[in-house]
Structure 1
């Protein structure tokens, strides 16, 4: 089994750079698919209260037989819980659903700039972090302007910012801001919901290196330093997405794929999305 590289976050916590995502996996399929991922070798699982499958993720982690310390688990605050006390209650609910004694990473899922103050929400996460119930806290879908406001009004720098990133949305400004402030970038929708998989440039590279276009795209992310957690419900694809460590892309390949950027989102715009 290949060793997945770790990324060290700004508070010293380490996270496997390759994980398994559970977005849009129905609850009734989540335990089995997450177990399949853990059996394949994944040691990083990403979920959220919004996904409705935290309970099944927790069951899979417990049923895997792995030591809790060996599995990195992320969840996220729901959009309806941005008020301080609501955020604290939502975290309690997440922990009850997961059935785990602690969380590795807890994120604000969306900034919702037009419906509340995410700086106050962040202060609730800081309290949770100081209690030791989560090893790290971070944000998701935050733009540089959101991050500047957050940093100006808080004491804990987010460990990660989880944003949509793929070859058609390379997010150079967000990633550069993160690098400047020691905030790791996590990439959701890393293959743009499949949209990039038939791209001629990626197809040419995949044929040359003898890999699938999905593997080439995921390898592009890894070599750029993104933390990724591709999702699948089929064991064959779960296993294929893990086979990223027996080849490398050239600098030319990385540049060619990065040049495909067209600022094209598959999800909402964080500057205008308000839940």
Structure 2
């Protein structure tokens, strides 16, 4: 079994540093790939309401646990997210209930994230209040955000009724998109960093810049990229629906890049965004300034 490091969140909960992302994974494939990932040694699966596979992922985990009684529910870390269209206190409460209903086969959600900051202050605030209540109910163990920039995080941390800080911010990160200012802010605030699209959404996995590192460590380009995230202290979510890639991705946890090589990979940064980028979404005050202009 591959030894995968764990990260302790500010909530006190433990999250495996390598997880399986199921973005764009159809329901039937999610039902198939999740048990295979668990067989390979994964103990962390990341879904979202907008992925429309929460129920399939949860049921696949529950079914696998029944067949593998030596592994307990608390050994598996399951994440979901509240999408932008469900922002606002009442809407988010309903969205949480729906996500919990879809996860009823596994009993609770380990981590629930605000999928992005794309709404307004009142709605974002209401969403966070509903998430805090979900933690208090015990049905959600930790809460966090995704695609939040520094300004969105500062807004959240200044809520007058803030009781629970975000445990984690899930953002696109890879050597061509290092987001150094945001990463520094998160580290100073004790908020864990989770990297999605660690292979640059597949657009950078064959970049010639990776060849010297792949040769030096006798690993694939993909493994070098995943290892870079881990070397930076990030939790990382390589996505695949191909069974043959599951174990190699997980084995990236055993690749120990030198500090010098990590810095060389950092130097590739060119703010190359391969997915959506809500991190720059304007605050209400910025929208008002735009209208004045």
Q: Normalised by the size of structure 1, how large is the TM-score?
A: 0.96
Distance 1:159 1:246 in 2: 25
Q: Which runs of 5+ in 1 are unaligned?
A: none
State the shift of 1:67 in Å.
1.8
Q: Which residue in 2 is equivalent to 1:124?
A: 130
Distance 1:251 1:68 in 2: 36
Give the length in aligned residue pairs: 274
1:144 corresponds to 2:136: no
Q: Is 2:3–2:254's contact at 8 Å kept on the other side of the alignment?
A: no
Structure-to-structure mapping, 1:1-275, within 5 angstroms: 1-65=1-65, 66-99=71-104, 100-114=106-120, 117-153=123-159, 154-270=162-278, 271-272=280-281
Which moves more between the two structures, 113-122 or 89-98? Answer: 113-122
Q: Normalised by the size of structure 2, how large is the TM-score?
A: 0.90
State the shift of 1:247 in Å.
3.0
Q: Which runs of 5+ in 2 are unaligned?
A: 66-70, 284-293
Per-residue Cα deviation, 1:98-150 (whole angstroms, up to 9, x for no partner): 22311100000011145853122111111111111111000000000000010
Per-residue Cα deviation, 1:6-64 (whole angstroms, up to 9, x for no partner): 10011211100011110010111101101110000000000000000001101111111
SS of 2:84's partner is coil
* More helix, by proportion: 2
Assess, with a 3 A threshold, how the Cα gap between structure 1 residues 189 and 180 changes in structure 2: closer, same or farther. same
Which moves more between the two structures, 93-102 or 45-54? Answer: 93-102
Per-residue Cα deviation, 1:217-262 (whole angstroms, up to 9, x for no partner): 0001001101012111111111110112433111121011111110
Q: Is 2:117–2:281's contact at 8 Å kept on the other side of the alignment?
A: no
SS of 1:117's partner is helix
State the shift of 1:273 in Å.
8.3
Distance 2:86 2:41 in 1: 34
Distance 1:190 1:249 in 2: 16
RMSD: 1.5
State the shift of 1:190 in Å.
0.8
Q: Is 1:82–1:116's contact at 8 Å kept on the other side of the alignment?
A: no
Q: Is 2:230–2:253's contact at 8 Å kept on the other side of the alignment?
A: no
State the shift of 1:201 in Å.
2.2
SS of 1:186's partner is strand
State the shift of 1:199 in Å.
2.0
Q: Is 1:8–1:15's contact at 8 Å kept on the other side of the alignment?
A: yes
Distance 1:90 1:194 in 2: 31
Of structures 1 and 2, the larger Rg is shown by 2
Q: Is 2:87–2:119's contact at 8 Å kept on the other side of the alignment?
A: no
SS of 1:244's partner is helix
Distance 2:112 2:255 in 1: 32
